[in-house]
Amino acid sequence: MIAFAANSVINRAVLADGAIGPASFAVLRLASGAVVLLFILWLQGVFKGGVQIKPRVDAVLGLALYAIGFSFAYSVLQAGLGALLLFGMVQITMFAGAVVQGNQPKPLQWVGAVIGLSGLAYVLNPNTSGIDLWGAALMIAAGFGWGIYSLAGQKVEQALIATAASFICATPIAVIIWFVTSTETFTNIGIALACLSGGVTSALGYILWFYVLPRLQASTAAVAQLTVPLIAMAGGMVFLDEVWTLDFTIAAALVLGGIGLSVWAGQRG
């Protein structure tokens, strides 16, 4: 979750400063992630064993939709509103996936999810007047994409190979979007931070996420991700000189309490 939050902090920082455009950021993030993952596979001697990298279509499309929508949405949306839309949609998608898979969330898990979302709504307190509807739609699409990607991750056995396949195949999709939409300029710091986001906090973070996902219920995984906006806000306080507030404290208690209730309910017999 810390790695995911770091992606939000990095993305918001470079877009806000104009260090790089959203399409360029998405391309470099996915491409650098693919390079790092291929390098790790090479170090492990995977290719010598004749292992083939076979992507899952749902994982590739989900990752591409998330990465592209995430970058473009944050170029027009306020950070708080964007985070609420993103992780609210992630939770809806993964809870729906749990139901479709026959893993019906227990009543207390639903209660925990509602408590967690109420905490986010409290701290983010989005002002919907004058909201950019296109930006909101992009962030909702990004949340749907991440939810699909996470659900696909529950079905894989080799997290590293699956993650590499998704990054490799999602990169050309982002390149196409870049060619179609991009009139951007970028700086060296923008390129460096985009590659950091892709190679470290995305690629390595997703390996760990795919490793953990098969051990979690979809509903529990969905609620756990509600911590990301709060961690991102804490990162903003440290790196962007944002101030700790009472509202943040109350929201953290609500979100973490909701997650705890949902996990506890999911572990009951």
pLDDT in tens, 54-75: 788 989 999 999 999 999 988 8
pLDDT at 169: 94
Mean pLDDT of 180-200: 87
Q: For residue 109, tell me if it sits in a domain.
A: no
Mean pLDDT of 77-93: 74
257 or 164, which is more confident: 164
pLDDT of 255 > 90? The answer is no
pLDDT above 90 coverage of the chain, percent: 23
3-class DSSP assignment, residue 129: coil
State how far the alpha carbon of 250 is from the alpha carbons of 47, 85, 139, 245, 260, in Å: 50, 20, 25, 9, 15
Mean per-residue pLDDT of the chain: 81
pLDDT at 51: 66
Q: Which domain holds residue 136?
A: 2-104+127-215
Q: For residue 89, tell me if it sits in a domain.
A: yes
Q: For residue 160, tell me if it sits in a domain.
A: yes
Mean pLDDT of 82-99: 76
Q: For residue 42, tell me if it sits in a domain.
A: yes
Q: How confident is the model at residue 114 (pLDDT cuts 50, 70, 90)?
A: confident
Report the domain count for the chain: 1
Stated pTM of the model:
0.82
Q: For residue 197, tell me if it sits in a domain.
A: yes
pLDDT of 116 > 60? The answer is yes
Q: Where are the alpha helices (DSSP H) in the chain?
A: 2-17, 22-43, 57-73, 79-100, 107-124, 133-153, 159-181, 188-196, 203-212, 218-224, 227-239, 246-267
Q: For residue 110, tell me if it sits in a domain.
A: no
Q: For residue 195, tell me if it sits in a domain.
A: yes
pLDDT above 70 coverage of the chain, percent: 86
| Amino acid occupying residue 241 | D
Q: For residue 153, tell me if it sits in a domain.
A: yes
